[in-house]
Each structure stands twice: as C-alpha cells, then as structure tokens.
Amino acid sequence: MTIIKAKDFTEKLSKAGHVRYTKQNASLGKYGPKNPKIISLGLGDPRPDTFIFSEVSATVANLYNKDGSSDSTDSAQTTISLSEKKSPGSLVEGLDVLLQYGDGYGVRSLLGYAKNLVKNSHCPQYEDWDVIISCGSTDGLDKATDVFLNDGDNIIVDEYTYINAIKTFEAKSYNQVSVGMDTEGMIPEELDRVCSNWQGPNPLKAIYLIPTGQNPTGTTMSLQRRKDIYSVCQKHDLIIIEDDPYYYIQFGDAPVADGETTLSPEYLSKLPGTKNLLPSMLLFDVDGRVIRLDSMSKLMAPNLRTGWITAQKRVIDIIRAHTDTTLIRANGLSMGLLSRLLLEEWKEEGFEKHVAFVQKQYVYRRNLLVKSMKERLGNMIEFSVPETGMFVWLKVNLPDEAKREGVVDELFEKMTEKNMLMIPGFLFSADQKNPNVKDIPYFRATFVYAPLEELDMAIERLETVLLEFGCKK
C-alpha cells in the first residue's frame, strides 16, 4: 500500500503563520505534569487543590420521548459526572486536568474521540493528518485563515455566504472574491474562470466553502460537485477551508411529505443517519490542502463552544501555537462533559441514535415549512428544497411595478410589521460594493427554531405581505 504524505504548503504561510511555524516547539508545556520525575518550579499552573469545583454533574435531556418523537418507552434520565480525579477505568480526565491550563490541542479524551470519528467518517487519504479541538467553527475559521492569509490577501467565497465569515474577513482586511452558485453551491466552471483570469495584485491562495446545507442558501454539493471543486483547487493550488457545521443534518433522498408520512418507518428509513452521509472533501484530498471545520453546535448545543479542526500536521501545529497564546485551549468543562457522554455513556450507538433524532426533527420541520410555502405562496416565490441543514433560500417574484430601489428594505419592514421575520439576502453577499445587490429580493428562512404550530402561521403572514406588493400566486 502506497503511503501518501501531505504536500508542504509552508511557502504559502502568512507572516503570523510563518512565525508560529518556526516557534511552534517553543512551548514549555512538555515539561509539565506529564513528566512525574520533574519537580516544577517553572510553570505558572495553579495547584489543583485550590480549584473551586470538586465535582460537576449534568443531567442528559431525555429528548427521545418528547412530543412523541421516539418510539422509546425508556423515560429514565441519565446523569454524567466529572470527579476531582480521573475515575479508575475511565477514559475521561478528572477536574484536576480539565480545569487546568493545558496545551492548545485539547484534552486527550475528546481529541481521541474526534480523531476516531474523522478517521471512520471521512477516511483522510494521506498519513500525516491531525486534529485539534476548537471553540466551534467560527473560532476554527479565524485560526485557519490566519495560517495562510495576511491583511490584503484574497479569499474566494460563494456569491452568498455565512455572514460571520464575511465580517471576519472584513475585519482582517481580506479581499473577498465571490464566485457564482447554482442549486448545488459553487459552480466549478465559474471558479476555474475566476482563477484563470485573475489579475489582482496578490495571488489567490485560499477558498472558503460550506459544502453541506450551505448558509444561507441551503445548497448541498453532490459527490461529483465536491470532486470537481477539489480538482479546480488542485489546478490553481488553493487551500480549501471546508466549514461543515450542518454535516450530520443531512436528509438524503427523503422527499417533502405530509406530517403523518414523515413519521412512518418507511419514510424515516430514507434518512442517512451516520452511515450514508455525503463525504467530506478529506475523502479525496491527497495533497493535505483541506482544512476541515467540525462543530457540535448544531448537534448538542451552541454554547458548549466545542468543535475540531482537521488538517495536515504542519497546519494543526501552527493552529496549536496560535491557541497557546490566545484561548490556551477550549473550555475544559465542555470538553469533559462531551467526552463522558460520547465515550462512556452514549458510545457509537448513542451518537447514531442522536443523529437520527436530529435528522428526524429537522426533516419534519422542513416538510411542514416547504408544504406551507408551496400551498400558500405558489408562484409568488421561487426556491429549491434543501437536502440538508436549517435554511430555505427564496426569491420573491415581484411584479415589474414593484421593482424599485429600496424594495427589499420595504419588504423586510412590512414583514416585521406583520410579526414574521426572514433575513434579507443582501446581508450574506460578499459583494457589498455592488449597488444592485441590495435590491435583489432574496431572503433566508429557517425552519428549525419557531414552534411547529407557528411555521404555517409565519407563511400565512408572509402571504399577506407579498399580496400587498402585488405578487401573483
């Protein structure tokens, strides 16, 4: 079997990335408590016996019996605990480690879990890959771009993309180069055209993508689209930042159906669970050019602020050097509780059950909202049914007499007057200098937050607004 090593991209490093690359082994952490022979008078780690918590417990929500969402009859709740010291036979660190300073990689129990999940789910094609725990995808994005991009450098993005990514790039003075999209996300031919014709002062070095359930458009790249995008990135030697927070919220081939059908075993069997998901670009990354961002925010809870970054070892070590001097490492309590839950309470079977539960909840909501939109709005809007994630991206079909400067703002104000909210599409555009973007009547709707009984009510209110603007069903 041929062993593939990642390509060396150090010539592309940013100034900060280069400094961290050359200084990455300067950490004194290796002389800490891992070596019991050393009597440390050097490191400024507080004594664990002064820590304020000696035990932390959390009750795991019994989600699977709420609102008839599971056939399970087990109503017992589970409590997981973290003790002052690591329990005999446990894989999870004690609070003396979880609450202490540590290196930027993260606690070893969760790091091991993440590595195993990446290996089994995404099958990286080269040998020298690694993982580091992050504080979610936004933290990961900040660190990933910092490795390769300087102020004034270019980053390629979708025509419409994650609003916090746009703000992050603006704050870092990156030049955002937008590429056209279709119902599968970024168009490979458009990406190739932009790269081939590039004449800017700085080369194109990196691309930012959300391939699965893209925010805001809800598009999901097919397997072939992912391969085609990767091939173009190889051709033009681009670093790929693959942001995939909606990865496990895939709906597979499940069509839009009524509520009763959605709950049937035959319909639910169409959901992919954890075994039939579209692959990460890591699956065909033979160069080590993909930096993958994973997050627990959509599966567990957003403010656990826990995720991980997967990339070639050189890149992970640079990110670790960055983390050492900023966060130090992700929150110990969050990491410890997740480790206890995933490694010792749920294990693989429990994680699969939870993923299936989330997919079931969200496909049910998607179906309710989409059916309501089709029935109430008809030709007043156009949209594609999302196969993944949380969002529906729609365009209002305004009559000619309603097409005017400022009309999107008028629509938004009228919606809020009717007590319903969608986000105007221009806020997700990286091309804010284009004066025409603001008047293209795109909106992003989400089906995951509002109570079930209010989804149709919201679309009924939207129907009233669009009729006032002269839209025809």
Domain contains 272: yes
Domain contains 34: no
Same domain? 335 vs 382: no
Rounded distance, CA 62 to CA 73, Å? 11
Between the alpha carbon of residue 466 and those of residues 2, 301, 374, the distances in Å are 60, 35, 14
Q: What tens digit of pLDDT does each residue of 63-98 get?
A: 876 543 444 445 567 899 999 999 999 999 999 999
State the pLDDT at residue 69: 47
Same domain? 412 vs 463: yes
Its pTM stands at 0.95
State the pLDDT at residue 1: 58
State the pLDDT at residue 38: 84
Same domain? 378 vs 276: no
Three-state DSSP at 434 gives coil
CATH code at position 366 = 3.90.1150.10
Rounded distance, CA 44 to CA 49, Å? 15
Residue 380: name the closest of 266, 469, 305 by CA.
469
State the pLDDT at residue 74: 52
Mark which of 323, 356, 389 sits at the end of a domain: 356
Domain contains 33: no
Rounded distance, CA 129 to CA 132, Å? 11
Three-state DSSP at 32 gives coil
Please give the backbone phi and psi of residue 58, each rounded to the nearest 5 degrees, phi first.
Answer: -140, 140
Number of CB atoms found within 10 A of residue 124's CB: 24
How many structural domains compose the chain?
Answer: 2
Mark which of 326, 356, 386 sits at the end of a domain: 356
Same domain? 301 vs 432: no
Q: CA angle at residue 124 from 118 to 129, to 5 degrees? A: 85
Mark which of 356, 378, 408 sits at the end of a domain: 356
Domain contains 92: yes
Rounded distance, CA 81 to CA 104, Å? 24
Task: Give the H/E segment covering residue 293.
Answer: strand 290-295
Rounded distance, CA 219 to CA 229, Å? 15
Which amino acid does the sequence have at 15?
K
State the pLDDT at residue 71: 46
CATH code at position 91 = 3.40.640.10
464 neighbors 418 (Cβ within 8 angstroms): yes
Phi-psi sector, 27: left (phi>0), alpha (psi -120 to 50), beta: beta
Range of the domain at 385: 361-469
Domain contains 198: yes
> Which residues of the chain fall below pLDDT 50?
67-73
